[in-house]
Structure 1
Amino acid sequence: MKKVVIIGDGGHGKVVADIVNSNSDMIVYAILDDKHVEAFIENGILNGPISHVTKLIDSNQDIRVVFGIGSNAARKKIFAELEISPDKYIRAIHSSAIVSPSAKIGNGAVVMPGVIINVDAIIEEHVIVNSGCVVEHDCVVSKFSHISPLAVLTGGVRIGEGTHIGAGASVIPLKTIGAWTVVGAGAVVVSDIEDRVTVVGSPARVIKREG
């Protein structure tokens, strides 16, 4: 039985806890967040500051870790600060998700209820694939990205690191979206999108460039 430590004690963390509990070989052991100053037990679950995770890993070889944080930048920052071995991060995949046997899911990825991930798709480390998403064949979703509820990535789409695809957005086949870009809710992406911009609408258009 894997004892799972969830980093992040907000709404997203609640969903991640539900995903962990949907798997018969996992149990939520601790929920850590820096809003807690000291460690305490609540409903049989250890709570405390994020820094407590290293002590837990050192004391128990069955401990595994996953982020319950929706912010892409925050996940990457905390990941770098903790310096935890990559093999200590679990793939948190809800039991209702449909994942092709040929799809590749990276350590730390979270796949939520009702998701479909099709043949030869690649979901890299610490990606969130949110409720009801479709990630079609041969897509590549780079690390620390977040695909929001009911978004659709059609075949061969490539998503750059740290990018956020908004709820209900669609990307037509073979398009590339750059790193740390935001695609607004309901947008329809019909052409390649550059790094570090925000796009909205149908067809999606740039409304903001970083800096």
Structure 2
Amino acid sequence: MNRSPLDDVKRLVIVGTGGLGREFHALVENINAAGTDLWQMVGWLDSDAAQHGSAVHDLPVLGDLPWLSDHPEVYVAVGLGAPHTRRQVVEQIRALGHTRFATLIHPSAVIGRRVEIGEGTVICAHVTTTTDYRIGRHVLINLMATVAHDDVLHDYVNIAPAVVISGDVTIGEGTDVGTNATINQGLEIGAWSVVGSGSVVTRSLPANCTAVGAPAKPIKEREAGWHL
């Protein structure tokens, strides 16, 4: 029996109608235009009840997360920028028994071989990667960022636009690396930390800290588990 291309179309909803969610939708449109994958965007989910029944990008706001309970076949992308918020929403979705998370990679991104990319991760336009790296689940790698050899990006990491990550770097779960930051080779950044925009990381950083500057230095520490 011959298969139609429509047999491979995957239905998709995006959580969040803000700027990042709408950027995800634009990314999906680019993926479909390139023919590298086929997604049918069916609408949005949002916690703001005032938006339910309205339209964004001419697509309906279908409701909140419980909508997924009646639609187990639909894939979901969580278009929320803060790593701790994204984690909380993913856990709520899993608690509903929903297991389909979309992995979205812009067709202009350079993706190496011998790599691992987890479910729910989104890689945006003009990202450049090399080889032998590992990216966890629900990671966001934004426009024009660079990921080098042997890097490990754990779950829920945010990499903002134009970040440069040198080789053999480990970035802990939920860490948020700001726009145009640079991380030197062989370093480790602990979980749930923040690296400020434009910072240059020349030494490893502990968990749960905020670091800024060139060279980057911790200026704030949070209690372990602050993100829960």
- Report SS of the residue matched to 2:155: coil
Q: Secondary structure at the match of 2:42?
A: strand
Aligned to 1:192: 204
Identity, in percent, stands at: 29
Structure 2: distance between partners of 1:72 and 1:105: 17
Q: Return the offset for 1:86.
A: 7.4
Residue 38 of structure 1: CA displacement? 7.0
TM-score with structure 1 setting the length: 0.92
* 1:87–1:107 Cα contact (<8 Å) kept: no
Other structure's SS at 1:194 match: coil
Cα distance in 1 between the residues matched to 2:58 and 2:107: 23
Other structure's SS at 1:99 match: coil
Q: What amino acid does structure 1 have at the position aligned with 2:194?
A: V
- The alpha-carbon deviation at position 50 of structure 1 amounts to 2.2
Conserved 8 A contact 1:5-1:53? no
Aligned to 1:57: 71
1:88 positional shift: 0.5
Residue of structure 1 equivalent to 2:226? none
1:30 corresponds, among 43, 63, 78, to 43
TM-score under structure 2 length normalisation: 0.86
- Residue 4 (structure 2) aligns with: none
Paired letter, 1:36:
A
- Show CA shifts across 1:169-192 (max 9, x none): 001111000000000011111111
* Separation in 1, partners of 2:167, 2:70: 41
Partner deviation per Cα, 1:38-64 (whole Å, 9 max, x = no partner) = 742636523133224424523xx2x11
Q: Give the drift of 1:20.
A: 1.2
Deviation at 1:104, TM superposition (A): 1.4
Structure 1: state its 5+ residue gaps: none
Give the number of aligned pairs.
208
**Residue type matched to 1:188 in 2?**
V
Are 1:9 and 2:17 matched, yes or no? yes
Does structure 2 conserve the Cα–Cα contact (< 8 Å) formed by 1:105 and 1:124?
yes
Computing the radius of gyration over CA atoms, which structure comes out larger, 1 or 2?
2
- Structure 1 residues 38, 11: closer, same or farther in 2, change over 3 A? closer
1:18 to 23, 26, 30: 26
Residues 44-89 of structure 1: per-residue CA shift (max 9 Å, x gap): 523133224424523xx2x111111101011111111121667500
Could you list the structure 1 runs, at least 4 aligned residues long, displaced by more than 4 angstroms after superposition. Answer: 84-87
User: Which residue number in structure 1 is paired with residue 128 of structure 2?
Assistant: 116
